[in-house]
Chains A and B, each alone.
Chain A
Amino acid sequence: MTLVRLRPVRDLAVLLLGTLTLLFFLLRLTGDPALVLAGPDATEQQVAAIRAEYGLDRSLPVQYLSYVGNLLRLDFGHSLADGSPALKKVLIAYPTSLLLAAMAMAVTLLISIPAGAWLGAGRHGSARAAVRWLLFVLQGVPGFVTALLLVQLFAIELVWLPALGSSGLSSLILPTVSVASFLAPKLTRLIEANVAAAMGSPYVRTARAIGSSDREILWRHALPNALLGATALVGTQFAFLMTGLVIIESIFAWPGIGWLLVQSTTSVDFPVVQAITMTVVVTVFAVNTFVDLLQRRVDPRLRHREPLAPGAGE
C-alpha cells in the first residue's frame, strides 16, 4: 500500500497551492473576509486597514494573488486573541505537541509490536482470543471517552495524577496513555495481520524445512518482514496520531497545536487557523516523503533493482 510516488518539489508546490486556494475560498465563504480577519472587536479603521493590506477591495484574481503571496511569505497575520503573529504562535506550540506525540508513539510501539507479534504467531488459545476481544472492545471506545474515563479513575477517584496542564513529568502520563490507547488497538491488529501472513508464507516453510524452531522463525523470519510491511502504514498512523492529539490535548489542556486549533476555531481566529492548517499540511507532506525515503532505504526489493548475472546459470 505505498503512496503514489511523489516528486517532492513539484508536488509540494501543488499541495501548497491547493491548500491555499481552499483556504482562500473558505475565507470568502464566511462573508466579508476583512471582518473575519480583523475579528469581531475591530474598529472600522482596523477593518479598512486589513482590507487594504490584503487587497480585499480589488478584483477577485488580484485578491487571490495577494493572499497567496502573503501566505507564501509566511505572513499569516496576527492572532485575534492576543495580537501575536499567528505563525509564531503556532510554532511555539509545536514542540509541546511533538513531545506528547513522541512519547505516545513510543508507548504505542512498545505495546503494539510485542502484542501484535504474539497474537500473530499463534492462531489459537483462549489467552489470545481474550486479548483479541479486549482489543475489539477498545476499538469501540473512542479515544476521548477513554481519556475521560482515565481522568475519572486516576485523577478524580484515586488522585494519583493531575487532570490538567503540562507541568512536570506526571502530567505527561495520562495524556500519553490516552493517545496510546487511541492508536494501539488498531496498530496491534495490523501488526498481528502482517505477522500471521508472514508465518503462513512459503519462505517460513523453507525455514521450517531447515529445522528452525518457532521462536527463531518468529524473530528471524516473520517479524522483520511484518515490520517492514508495516512501514507502509506509518503515514496513516501519523494521521491517526494527529487526530488523537487534537482531542486529547483539548481534554488535558495540553498547550500544543491541537489545543490551539480547537481554541482558534471555536473563536474563529482565522489567522491562526490558516497558520495551523498550513503547518499541518507541510508536516504531513514531510512525513510522507520521509516514509517514502525510509522504504527505499530499508526494503531490499526497492534498494537493489538490478538483476545479478542475468541469464547465466539457468
Chain B
Amino acid sequence: MSITTQSARRNPVLEVEGLSVRAGSGELATMPVQDLSFTIASGEVLGIVGESGSGKSMTAYAIGDLLPEGVAVSAGRIVLEGRPVLSLSPAERRALDGNRIGMVFQDPLSSFNPVRTIGSILIESARRHQQLSTSAARGKVIEALAGVRLPHPELLVDAYPHQLSGGQRQRAMIALALLNEPSLVVADEPTTALDATVQLRILALLKRSAGSRALLLITHDLAVASTVCDRILVMQRGRCVEQGSTADILESPAHDYTRELLAAAHWPAALGSQPQAGAA
C-alpha cells in the first residue's frame, strides 16, 4: 500500500457499515445484501466483484437512492462525506443525487430517454444542481462532453440517443455522472454492454476521470476489476466474502469462492495447491 493511498484513507468519501437490504415482505422476503461494510477514500477505486445474484447491483442502488419498489435498506449506515444519508428527507436526498454522487449505468442505450436529446438530461442536471440558466448550462454541458473526448460536442448536445454508438453513449453517460463534480462515482457494469475493443477505452476514461474522486465499480468481470481498481471486494449471495488490495486478492486469495472466480477468469493464482490438467 503506497503512502498516497494511506493518507487518502484518512479522508473517506463513502462509508458503508453493516448494510442490509430486504426485498419483499413477510414470508417471501429475501435479503439481497447482508451486513456489508466497506469504505472508499477520495482518489481510490474500489471494485465490487461477484456473479449475478450476488447483490452487488443492489448495493449500488442502495447507495444511489435507486432501490426499486418493495426493496429497502433494513439495517446499517451509509455515510457520504461525513453525512449519514439514510436518514435524510427525500428532498435532501435528491439534492445529493447527480450532485455529490454520480451514477453510470450498464446499458447506455436504454438509459437515455429515446425521445429526448442527449443534452436535455445533462442540461436538466446542471440547471438543478448548479442553479444555472439554460444557456449557461448548455455551455457547461458542451464542455463536459468535450471532457470525455466526444467529437463535436456542440452537435451532440442536440443529438438523439439512437444517433450515437454504444461507446459514445457511455461516454455521454460518464459526462452526466461527472457534470456537477461529485465526490463519489458509482459505475454499475459500465462496460458489459459494450464491444470488447471499446471496453478498455471506456475503462481508461473512467479511471482518468475519477481523478481525485472516489469511484465504486461494480462488475462481474475480475479482469475488468483488476485493470482499474485499487481494492477489490468479493460478494457472494449478498455477503462480503473478502476484501483487500487488488494485488492481495489476485495473488493470494484467502477464500475459496474468490479462488473459484479467479479460476473462472483463468487466473494463474487460482491454481494454488490444486493442479489442473492442461492449465496454462
Interface contact A209-B114, CB-CB below 8 Å: no
A10 interface hit (Cβ, 8 Å): no
For the complex, is A142 an interface residue (Cβ under 8 Å from B)? no
- B121 near A309 (CB under 8 angstroms)? no
Partner of A307, one of B150, B152, B165, B197: B165
Of chain B, the residue at the smallest CB distance from A303 is B160
- Whether, in the assembled complex, A213 has its beta carbon less than 8 Å from a beta carbon of chain B, the answer is yes
Q: Which B76-127 residues have C-beta < 8 A from chain A? A: 91, 94-99, 102-103, 105, 107, 110-116, 121, 124-125
Identify whether the interface residues of A are mostly helix, strand, loop, or mixed.
loop
Question: How many A-B contacts if CB must be within 8 Å?
Answer: 112
Q: Is B163 touching A308 in the complex (CB atoms < 8 A)?
A: yes
* CB under 8 Å from chain B, chain A span 297-314: 299-301, 304, 306-314
Q: Which residues of B contact A (CB under 8 A)?
A: 64-66, 69, 91, 94-99, 102-103, 105, 107, 110-116, 121, 124-125, 128-129, 149-152, 155-156, 159-160, 162-165, 167-168, 171, 173, 176, 197-198, 201
In the assembled complex, A170 has its CB within 8 A of some CB on chain B: no
A30 CB within 8 Å of chain B = no
User: In the bound complex, do residue A208 and residue B113 qualify as a contact, i.e. CB atoms below 8 Å apart?
Assistant: no
The distance in angstroms between the C-alpha atoms of A70 and B176, with both chains bound, is: 65
Q: How far is the CA of A202 from the CA of B102 in the complex (A)?
A: 16
Determine if A209 and B112 form an interchain contact, defined as CB atoms under 8 angstroms apart: no
B121–A206 touching, CB < 8 Å: yes
A306 and B160 CA atoms in complex are apart in Å by: 10
Whether the pair A307, B164 counts as a contact (CB closer than 8 A) is: yes
Roughly how many angstroms separate A91 CA and B47 CA in the complex, as a whole number? 72
Given A209-B64, A313-B167, A308 and B159 contact (CB-CB distance below 8 Å): yes
Pair A211/B128 contact, Cβ less than 8 Å: yes
Contact call A314/B201, Cβ cutoff below 8 A:
yes
**Is A202 within 8 A of B95, CB to CB?**
no
- 16 A-B contacts (beta carbon < 8 Å): A202-B110, A205-B105, A206-B111, A206-B121, A209-B103, A209-B105, A211-B94, A211-B95, A211-B96, A213-B94, A304-B162, A304-B163, A307-B165, A308-B164, A312-B151, A313-B168
Docked Cα-Cα span, A309 to B95, in Å, equals 35
The interface residues of chain B lying within 8 Å CB-to-CB of A313 are 149-151, 165, 167-168, 171
Query: Which residue from chain B places its CB closest to the CB of A206 in the assembled complex?
Result: B111
Of listed B105, B107, B115, residue having the most chain A CB within 10 A: B115
Nearest chain A CB to B69 CB, angstrom units: 7
Please, which residues of chain B bring their CB within 8 A of the CB of A314?
Answer: 165, 167-168, 197-198, 201
Contacts of A201 in B (CB 8 A): 110
* New contact pairs (6) apart from A206-B112, A210-B128, A307-B164, CB-CB < 8 Å: A206-B176, A210-B124, A211-B125, A221-B116, A308-B159, A309-B151
